[in-house]
Amino acid sequence: MTLLGGGLMGLGYLLMNATVPTPEQTYAAMSPDLRRKVDAHRAARLAQEQTIKRQIDAQNDPDAGKPIWANQPNQR
């Protein structure tokens, strides 16, 4: 029974690999208009992720929470 279940799962996996296109194939099959929209959405998402990353980095900066007068005077 276990062998039959494993065989069915293996057959399903092979069938999925044979029939489902890769993301690159899907992108290549799109019309140029849809590609432009996808590229615009990707660019917007990347810009938003970079903004969020900059905010996270600024919040994790240990010196950002200190008041300005807590800075050490420059040694000359």
Q: Residues 12-59: pLDDT tens digits?
A: 999 999 999 999 999 999 999 999 999 999 999 999 999 999 999 888
Backbone angles phi, psi at 53, to 5 degrees: -65, -40
Flag whether 2 is in a domain.
Answer: no
Structure-token match 């065989």, residue found: 7
Instruction: Tell me the mean pLDDT in the region 52-71.
Output: 80
List Cα–Cα distances, 34 to 20, 29, 46, in angstroms: 20, 10, 18
Q: Considering the entire predicted model, what is its pTM? A: 0.58
Flag whether 47 is in a domain.
Answer: yes
How confident is the model at residue 33, as a pLDDT? 97
Residue 50 is part of which domain span? 23-62
Flag whether 45 is in a domain.
Answer: yes
Neighbouring CB atoms inside 10 A of 62's CB total: 6
Flag whether 9 is in a domain.
Answer: no
Flag whether 67 is in a domain.
Answer: no
Flag whether 40 is in a domain.
Answer: yes
Flag whether 13 is in a domain.
Answer: no
Structural domain count of the chain: 1
More confident residue, 76 or 19: 19
Burial profile 11-28: b = 16 or more Cβ within 10 angstroms, e = fewer: eeeeeeeeeeeeeeeeee
